[in-house]
Amino acid sequence: MTQLQYKGTGSATGRTGSRYWRSKSAYLGVLPFLLFSGLFLLYPTWNVVSGAFKDNYGKFSSKVLLEVFNSSVARHAFANSLEISAKTAIVGAILGGLFAWAIVTGKPGGVFYKISVALSSVLAQFGGVMLTFAFLATFGFNGLVSTLAVKYLPNTFLADSTWLYGKTGLSVLYTFFQIPLMVLVFLPTLENLKPQWREASDALGGKAYEYWLRIGIPILTPSFAGAALLLFVNSFSAYATANTLINLSDFLTPLEIATALTSETGGSNPAEAKSLSLFMVIVVVIVMGLYALLRKKVSKWEQKR
């Protein structure tokens, strides 16, 4: 009897467990993980979300939240964060998408393919302290490019490294890790494009640009947009690079949060940090929600192969 039931459960989806497996004591098995994640994941999340509606003495009030919402400093930092994330997401998505196309049009599984993919997976994680040093060594005072520029192009912006320590510089740094991330996310999509579509288009007399305009681009748009949303979240959440490059505490929201939390002048303000964090989480949740919707659309053709 039980043997027969097991046959029914043999599906990979695991939807149908037999009654034998579903005893109450099974719930004890997830208890250690639940305790652990409760401590290190659910508690901090709850702490931030509920803390945003409290003042620094633990009383419920929306005062701090409203203060942060109306503060011009906070709004400025938030606008900077959104602007840099949007710009680097778009530039990174375009450059990374084109590079992914260049990889796909090469020999599949060739040396260039392998090197590009391996390097991308390393460089996509290469944010933070080390990235800052790489760009200081390139464009900073006494860096490789700026030294050359001082010699040969003394009147261009390259000769004067101050641009590096602002919005432009930060965007250039962020784009550095956005491109490889885009390659990793978008490459599988391009590889899944069916060659038969191109052949059909060619056989019916379509030109190359017509194929891209009418078939390629429309079909790739949802996954491209989805990937761009991922890149947006990626730079919106970034803290380490900005922290090591510029020491302006109110320049970006993550920097502002860190200052509110650890202020060295003694004015630490956890309630403000939590309110700012809540606004960040709201943006990320909205963007990830859009991403999930887009992925659903994509998976219809991408996964049914």
Partner 1 sequence: MKQSMGVRLWRWTIISVVALYLLVPLYAMFDFSTKPFGFADKGRTFRAWKMITEQPDLWPAISRSLITAAIVMALILFLIVPTAIWVHLKLPVLRRPFELLCLLPLAIPAIVIVVGIAPLYRWISINISESPITLAGVYSMLILPYTYRSLSAALDAVDIHTLAEAATTLGATITRVIFGIIMPTIKTGIVNGSFIAIALVLGEYTISNILNFKTFQVVIAQIGRTNGNVAVAVSLASLLFVIFLLLIIPTKKRQGTVLDVDVA
Q: Which is nearer to partner 1, 15 or 151 (CB)?
A: 15
CA angle 144, 147, 152 (to 5 degrees): 120
Q: What is the largest CA-CA distance in the chain?
A: 86
Phi, psi of 210 (to 5 degrees): -65, -40
Q: Which two tokens stand for residue 117?
A: 């993919």
Q: Give min distance, CB of 106 to partner 1, in A.
A: 8
The span from the CA of 184 to the CA of 125, in Å, is 11
Q: Which two tokens stand for residue 223?
A: 């996954």
Q: Which is nearer to partner 1, 76 or 299 (CB)?
A: 299
Q: Which is nearer to partner 1, 153 or 285 (CB)?
A: 285
Q: Which is nearer to partner 1, 4 or 204 (CB)?
A: 4
Q: Give min distance, CB of 209 to partner 1, in A.
A: 10
- The residue behind tokens 């860096």 is 143
- The residue behind tokens 């004015």 is 267
Q: Give min distance, CB of 72 to partner 1, in A.
A: 21
Q: Which is nearer to partner 1, 228 or 298 (CB)?
A: 298
| Helix 270-302 with 63-70: angle, nearest 10 deg | 70
Which of 73, 47, 51 has the alpha carbon at shortest distance from 60? Answer: 51
Q: Give min distance, CB of 135 to partner 1, in A.
A: 6
Q: Give min distance, CB of 50 to partner 1, in A.
A: 10
Q: Give min distance, CB of 234 to partner 1, in A.
A: 9
The span from the CA of 253 to the CA of 74, in Å, is 7
**What's the half-sphere exposure (Cβ side, CA atoms, 13 Å) at 69?**
9
The span from the CA of 89 to the CA of 236, in Å, is 10
Q: Per DSSP, what are the bridge partners of residue 54?
A: 60
Q: Give min distance, CB of 102 to partner 1, in A.
A: 5
Q: Give min distance, CB of 303 to partner 1, in A.
A: 10
| Segments in the chain forming alpha helices (H) | 2-9, 31-37, 43-51, 63-70, 72-105, 111-123, 129-139, 144-152, 167-192, 195-203, 208-211, 217-236, 240-245, 253-262, 270-302
- The residue behind tokens 């800052």 is 132
